[in-house]
A and B are shown apart, each in its own frame.
Chain A
Amino acid sequence: MISQELKKVILTELNLDDFDLQDETMAPEVPGWDSLNHINIILAVEKSFNVKFKSYEVLRLKNVGDLQKLVDLKTGK
């Protein structure tokens, strides 16, 4: 389940009002989420949750659900 906070960070970075982000949603399905923007989204998530991801952790992310799990892990949820 994608938290409202994570959804808000992603949609703000992509300049979207709304998009149905599910655990299994993958970046190419979301308007504007290309490889260049991906880097900015990751940095925005890090800033918003005050966490830091390792490059290899980012590489392993397959979908938004994986990103949520990584955020939860880093924030101790």
Chain B
Amino acid sequence: MNNIGNNSPGDSAKDPAGQGKTLWERWQANAEKNPDREAIVHWVAGEEPMRWTYKNLIETAKKYSVKAREAGIKKGDVCAIVMHHNLFFYPLYLGISRMGALPAVLAYPNPRLHPDKFRQGIEGMAQRSGLDYILTERELDPVIHPLIEKPGSTIKSVFFPLDWNIENDIDPKSDAEIELIALSVREDEPILLQHSSGTTGLQKPVILSHRAVLNHTHNLGKALKLSDSDKVVSWLPLYHDFGLIACFQIPLAYGITTIQINPFEWVLAPILLLEAITKEKGTLTCLPNFAYNVLAEKIHDDELSDISLESLRLVINGAEPVRHDSHIKFTEKFVKYRFNPLALTVLYGMAEVSLCLTLTDPGKPIKELILDRNELSHGVMKFADENSVKRVSVSCGKLIDGCDARIVDENRKDVEDGIVGEVAVKSVSMFDGYRNYPEKTAEVVENGWYFTGDWGFRYQNEFFIIGRKKDLIIVAGKNIYPEDIEDALNQVDGIIPGRVISFGEEDEQMGTEQIAVVAEIKDETEIGKNKIRMDILRAGMAIDVNIHKVYLVPPRWLIKSSAGKPSRNANKERILSREDKQVWSR
């Protein structure tokens, strides 16, 4: 076990450039050291990529900080950025940070998301995060503007930074004043706000300090064996910690190049990632598990003739449970395109510790255990024998420097290796609690340990994550709370109020979970059931959630928990046993 006491934040925050107590200082130091090195390659399908050098990026960020100050943004303000994949997003983000304001990247609303639901999400977030400004594109103004006029709103204004004129030279006096503010920011002050999960009122705002992110850059950089020649290629959205921290913050703090692909384009044309890796000679990419299946199974071989993955030294699986089959499919498909199977790597972590806790050894085979599934479901790791129903558990690796972890029982007491329990963690890159949410922070943090709600076990100093204590559903790397879905479905005509649950159902073909719902209804007709199903699908669409499977059951079918509410786990088990003929499903 690592001893975080031997790795003080001050020591571990030392960077490869040897400069900078804040991210802004680090970015500037990187720009001074390697002004012409590419910081960000902005990738757009079918176009020549656009390239920010460190020097240009910093100069443009300064212009944005002056404009932001003119607009009234001050140190400590929370600024939500809601933008499409745009070349100017990056200097805007850096410019906001320079002023000591907190950028918070939010997902651009999908067309299927009802405007009222989008507004509700922002409102819930504003109440929790104390959102001060929204920086967005003009087309969202009609949706967002009503929020500012609402009584009690914390949102002071909406800005459209893509309209700001940054062609002219900046006022040196204003620039110098902002630089003084930038230099006054301490390392323990916040650099950014990111949201853990949820679609409406359940989001948890995580604040990270400069120190946390710089520590993480050092410790994860060391674990990944990052070097000056590394190039990170990513299609991950920047509102997700895997995209924001692993593929944006860490490369920029380390002074290397990151290639940013439009997430909306990637899902339509997954080959974009492989093209970018081939053309830019990318060395590192991060993928949620489902992406391995998509890349392996959804691209025709005749499109891959120009692809070479020989430059890739790390393909890091994270953000959702890692599946053995997905790694096999990916390797079998791409080994003939010069993919090195030893590049497969697994990372486990969460936004609350900046990103990463454990990592498998880069360049080494990933440990996999073939276990007895039944024993594991009873909380014990036991190797499978000829009578076992088998489950392959993929290692999430060992603790990286600056982190510590325990496996604990329901009383938060340590359990032995090989016994399943909740993962509790500590890190020098830990968050400072959920913003304006002390009761939630107190629930999950005790004596400096963050209780993750993930179930797992330790074996030979490696951690294996097998499930979640929380009922969180992870669809293609996106965390969704069942409560959000159930709230939306309780409005559907025909469902008995309060008698609906949702859960994640394994989709082996796609390598991820899909959303299933179980609802009690009175209607016994086929026509009626089909209508209710369509209404359920539409209610999901309105909150931008795709409901994959609908199970309809008669009144009083759902098993209640001791609290008197329908139990998600018990009903999931009952549904998946597929033994009850009363269940209608489609």
Is residue B269 contacting chain A, with contact meaning CB distance below 8 A?
A: yes
Is residue B546 contacting chain A, with contact meaning CB distance below 8 A?
A: yes
Is B302 a contact of A28 with CB atoms below 8 Å? no
* Nearest A residue to B476, CB-CB: A36
* Contact A26:B303 (CB < 8 A) given known A35-B268, A59-B45, A59-B268: no
Name the one of A16, A31, A32, A58 contacting B268, with C-beta atoms under 8 angstroms: A58
Instruction: Please indicate the chain A residues that have their CB under 8 angstroms from the CB of B586 in the complex.
Output: 15
Cα of A36 to Cα of B290 in the assembled complex, Å: 9
* Interface residues, chain A, with chain B CB atoms under 8 Å away: 15-17, 26, 28-29, 31-32, 34-39, 43, 52, 54-56, 58-59, 61
Is B271 a contact of A55 with CB atoms below 8 Å? yes
Cα of A34 to Cα of B546 in the assembled complex, Å: 7
Q: Mark B277-304, 1 if CB is under 8 A from A, else 0.
A: 0000000000000100010001110110
Beyond the given A26-B111, A38-B268, A55-B271, please list 11 additional residue pairs across the A-B interface where CB-CB is below 8 A.
A28-B111, A31-B537, A31-B541, A32-B537, A34-B546, A36-B546, A39-B270, A55-B268, A56-B45, A59-B268, A59-B269
Is residue B140 contacting chain A, with contact meaning CB distance below 8 A?
A: no
Is B299 a contact of A55 with CB atoms below 8 Å? yes
Is A39 a contact of B298 with CB atoms below 8 Å? yes
Is residue B534 contacting chain A, with contact meaning CB distance below 8 A?
A: yes
Cα of A17 to Cα of B271 in the assembled complex, Å: 32
* Nearest B residue to A55, CB-CB: B269
Instruction: Please indicate the chain A residues that have their CB under 8 angstroms from the CB of B300 in the complex.
Output: 52
CB distance from B381 to the nearest CB of A (A): 32
Is A17 a contact of B530 with CB atoms below 8 Å? yes
Is B269 a contact of A36 with CB atoms below 8 Å? no
Cα of A39 to Cα of B582 in the assembled complex, Å: 33
CB distance from B345 to the nearest CB of A (A): 24
Cα of A15 to Cα of B534 in the assembled complex, Å: 11
29 A–B pairs (Cβ distance < 8 Å), ordered by A: A28-B110, A28-B112, A28-B541, A29-B111, A29-B112, A31-B534, A31-B537, A31-B541, A32-B537, A32-B547, A34-B112, A34-B546, A35-B264, A35-B267, A36-B267, A36-B475, A36-B476, A38-B268, A39-B270, A39-B294, A52-B300, A52-B302, A55-B272, A55-B303, A56-B269, A59-B45, A59-B46, A59-B269, A61-B268
Is residue B137 contacting chain A, with contact meaning CB distance below 8 A?
A: no
Cα of A32 to Cα of B536 in the assembled complex, Å: 11
Cα of A55 to Cα of B295 in the assembled complex, Å: 12
Cα of A29 to Cα of B272 in the assembled complex, Å: 26
Is residue B25 contacting chain A, with contact meaning CB distance below 8 A?
A: no
Is residue B409 contacting chain A, with contact meaning CB distance below 8 A?
A: no
Interface size on B, residues (CB 8 A): 33
Cα of A36 to Cα of B291 in the assembled complex, Å: 10
Residue among A15, A26, A32, A35 with the most chain B CB within 10 A? A35
- Please provide the chain B residues from 513 to 562 with a CB less than 8 Å away from any CB of chain A in the complex: 530, 534, 537-538, 541, 546-548
Is B271 a contact of A31 with CB atoms below 8 Å? no
Cα of A58 to Cα of B548 in the assembled complex, Å: 23
Cα of A55 to Cα of B265 in the assembled complex, Å: 10
Is residue B415 contacting chain A, with contact meaning CB distance below 8 A?
A: no
* Nearest B residue to A37, CB-CB: B546
Cα of A35 to Cα of B370 in the assembled complex, Å: 33
CB distance from A18 to the nearest CB of B (A): 10
Cα of A17 to Cα of B530 in the assembled complex, Å: 9
* Nearest A residue to B264, CB-CB: A35
Q: Mark B401-424, 1 if CB is under 8 A from A, else 0.
A: 000000000000000000000000
Cα of A43 to Cα of B547 in the assembled complex, Å: 21
Instruction: Please indicate the chain A residues that have their CB under 8 angstroms from the CB of B112 in the complex.
Output: 28-29, 34
Is residue B583 contacting chain A, with contact meaning CB distance below 8 A?
A: no
* Nearest B residue to A39, CB-CB: B298
CB distance from B517 to the nearest CB of A (A): 13
Instruction: Please indicate the chain A residues that have their CB under 8 angstroms from the CB of B546 in the complex.
Output: 32, 34, 36-37
Instruction: Kindly list the 9 A-B residue pairs having the minimum CB-CB distance in the complex, ordered from nearest.
Output: A28-B112, A31-B537, A55-B269, A35-B267, A34-B546, A28-B111, A55-B271, A59-B269, A39-B298
Name the one of A38, A39, A43, A59 contacting B265, with C-beta atoms under 8 angstroms: A59
CB distance from B539 to the nearest CB of A (A): 10
Cα of A29 to Cα of B270 in the assembled complex, Å: 23
* Nearest B residue to A28, CB-CB: B112
Is A56 a contact of B110 with CB atoms below 8 Å? no
Instruction: Please indicate the chain A residues that have their CB under 8 angstroms from the CB of B46 in the complex.
Output: 56, 59
Instruction: Please indicate the chain B residues that have their CB under 8 angstroms from the CB of A37 in the complex.
Output: 546
Instruction: Please indicate the chain B residues that have their CB under 8 angstroms from the CB of A34 in the complex.
Output: 112, 546
Cα of A43 to Cα of B509 in the assembled complex, Å: 14
Instruction: Please indicate the chain B residues that have their CB under 8 angstroms from the CB of A39 in the complex.
Output: 267, 270, 294, 298
Instruction: Please indicate the chain A residues that have their CB under 8 angstroms from the CB of B290 in the complex.
Output: 36
Cα of A35 to Cα of B514 in the assembled complex, Å: 13
Name the one of B267, B303, B475 contacting A54, with C-beta atoms under 8 angstroms: B303
* Contact A36:B510 (CB < 8 A) given known A17-B530, A26-B111, A28-B112: yes
Instruction: Please indicate the chain A residues that have their CB under 8 angstroms from the CB of B512 in the complex.
Output: 36
Cα of A58 to Cα of B205 in the assembled complex, Å: 36
* Nearest A residue to B586, CB-CB: A15
Q: Mark B108-126, 1 if CB is under 8 A from A, else 0.
A: 0011100000000000000
Instruction: Please indicate the chain B residues that have their CB under 8 angstroms from the CB of A35 in the complex.
Output: 264, 267-268
